[in-house]
């Protein structure tokens, strides 16, 4: 007894599906493989500490710029600390910061962690007014119970950075 259908029409359909399925699977696999470097995950500092993204993998790191943590160097490099309620990450950025970048405000840095654990940003995005914050950061802060929709600076952003 054969597992093939008895009807010639059903056998043709089964053969067609059997021929198309591997081609479709290969196309999806190649698309995902080609896009692997374009995918950028969003993390808050506490999520990054739990997930341990590999060094060099492009991610977005969002949180609040800790008060007193911004250090500007003469070569144009800027260092600052991005924090959420439970964790913080040191960020280094070479270039010009957005006009609205300041301590105690929300920020999203696009870049990757280095081997030493410092986040090297390629781009820094600052919120554009007192009430705006990127949607991903808003969701994460709400999930952590830290959302302040009034635009006020959370207490952890006011604390001095630890060295």
Q: What is the pLDDT of residue 128?
A: 59
Q: Cα dihedral angle (98, 130, 47, 139), rounded to 10 degrees?
A: -130
Span 124-134, mean pLDDT?
A: 67
Whether the CB-CB separation of 102 and 128 falls below 8 Å is answered with no
Q: Is the per-residue pLDDT at 105 higher than 70? A: yes
What gap in Å lies between CA 100 and CA 106, rounded to an integer?
Answer: 10
What gap in Å lies between CA 108 and CA 121, rounded to an integer?
Answer: 9
Look up residue 136 and give its two tokens. 């991903």
Q: What is the pLDDT of residue 39?
A: 73
96 - beta bridge partners? none
Q: What is the pLDDT of residue 32?
A: 86
The fraction of the chain above a pLDDT of 90, given in percent, is 47
Average pLDDT, the chain: 84
Span 96-120, mean pLDDT?
A: 91
Can you give the residue ranges of every domain in the chain?
1-38, 41-158
Q: What is the pLDDT of residue 131?
A: 56
Q: Rounded to two decimals, what is the model's pTM?
A: 0.63
Query: What pLDDT, in 10s, does the model give residues 85-101?
Result: 889 999 999 998 988 89
Q: Is the per-residue pLDDT at 147 higher than 70? A: no
Q: What is the CATH number of domain 41-158?
A: 2.40.50.140
Q: Quick one: pLDDT band at residue 135, thresholds 50, 70, 90? A: confident
What gap in Å lies between CA 15 and CA 54, rounded to an integer?
Answer: 43
């Amino acid at each position: 007894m054969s597992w093939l259908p008895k009807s010639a029409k059903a056998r043709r359909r089964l053969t067609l599906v059997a021929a198309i399925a591997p081609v479709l699977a290969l196309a999806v696999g190649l698309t995902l493989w080609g896009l692997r470097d374009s995918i950028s995950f969003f993390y808050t500092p506490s999520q990054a500490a739990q997930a341990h993204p590999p060094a060099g993998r492009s991610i977005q790191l969002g949180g609040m710029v800790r008060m007193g943590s911004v250090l500007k160097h003469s070569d144009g490099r800027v260092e600052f600390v991005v924090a959420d309620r439970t964790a913080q990450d040191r960020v280094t950025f070479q270039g010009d910061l957005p006009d609205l970048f300041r301590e105690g405000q929300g920020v999203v840095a696009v870049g990757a962690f280095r081997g030493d654990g410092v986040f090297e940003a390629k781009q820094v995005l600052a919120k554009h007014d007192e009430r705006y914050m990127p949607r991903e950061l808003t969701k994460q802060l709400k999930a952590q119970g830290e959302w302040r929709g009034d635009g006020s600076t959370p207490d952890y952003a006011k604390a001095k950075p630890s060295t």
